[in-house]
Amino acid sequence: MSRAPFNDKVAIVTGGGSGIGRAASQRLAVEGAQVVVADIDLPGAERTVELIAARGGQAVAIRADIASEQDNQAIFDLAEERFGGIDAAFLNAGMIQPYGPLEALALETFDRIIAVNLRGTYLGVQQARARLRPGGSCVVTASLSGVIGFAEGPAYAVSKHGLVGLVRSAASAFAERGTRINAICPGMVLTGMTGTVGLEAIDDPDEVADPAYRGALSAQQIAEVALFLLSRRSAGINGQAQNIDAALLSAFPPLA
Ligand code: NAD
């Protein structure tokens, strides 16, 4: 009989209080992992833990701002103290608001988005490099805006391009410790985040398969790719950035 891929494994998910992070936390728990659900929104993280517990899974919530070095450390400390070590780190938390074109971009906005998305994830990557057990894997949520420009969100695109560069550069340092790091680059995922830029949130992947949603993805579809990269099934992949775009880039203009 085959074992669930994350049996006896411990996973950390940042931004686990909603969207892609919640979907990944739930899937990791179903696949056998003990999960630390971290989010700046504690009620959101606690709700994810409730959903996991309702299906017999094990998880714990922590309020953490990934922009803080101390909070990043606290997430990894909790995983070690509660569950004995860390095998999978899904560094997924991020923000897009306020967004708008370059001419309207305030320096404070630029600084905050870089502080959270890029510097904050960098702090988590350093924790993962130092603390993942051999065989472990780190996955960073970048974006399609990490590989192509995003005129409506230049600071966001800079932060996500930075994450792709970070992952490509960090892989050998992870490999030295017998661990891996990869990035996922989702296109348009219908979560709360896309809700804030005028699109609806959708939870049912079957609904997203509707042609009306060409180019759009569900949080669950992104979580599946993250789980593959976090698991030993992807053991040969290190330092890569995987686009997940539902054919968005195959058409130009993208969503005409
Ligand atoms: P979401 O808004 O549902 O989830 C983001 C989560 O991150 C929220 O729970 C939020 O509270 C948390 N968060 C924000 N700032 C934080 C901080 N400083 N510290 C800790 N937690 C924080 O949106 P989502 O779509 O699930 O986003 C998850 C990731 O996917 C983000 O990194 C986002 O940039 C990326 N992404 C999203 C899309 C999309 O279309 N939705 C596309 C590409 C990439």
Q: Is 156 a catalytic residue?
A: yes
Atom 18 of ligand 1, nearest CA residue: 65
Q: Check if 215 has its Cβ closer than 6 Å to any atom of ligand 1.
A: no
Going by C-alpha positions, the residue among 99, 102, 125 that lies closest to residue 112 is: 99
What's the pLDDT score for residue 250? 84
Contact between residue 254 and residue 248 where contact means Cβ atoms under 8 Å apart: yes
What's the pLDDT score for residue 191? 84
CB crowding 38-59: b at 16 or more within 10 Å, else e: bbbeeebbbbbbebbeeeebeb
Residues of the chain with pLDDT under 70: 1-2, 195-213, 252-256
Could you give the angle at the alpha carbon of 118 between the alpha carbons of 178 and 105, nearest 5°?
Answer: 165
**Residue 223: how many other CB atoms lie within 10 Å:** 27
The three-state secondary structure class of 206 is helix
pTM, two decimal places: 0.96
**Residue 217: how many other CB atoms lie within 10 Å:** 24
Which ipTM score applies to this complex? 0.99
Q: Check if 216 has its Cβ closer than 6 Å to any atom of ligand 1.
A: no
Residue 81 is inside which H or E element, if any? Answer: helix 69-83
Give the orientation angle of helix 19-30 with respect to helix 42-54, to 10 degrees: 30
Atom 24 of ligand 1, nearest CA residue: 19
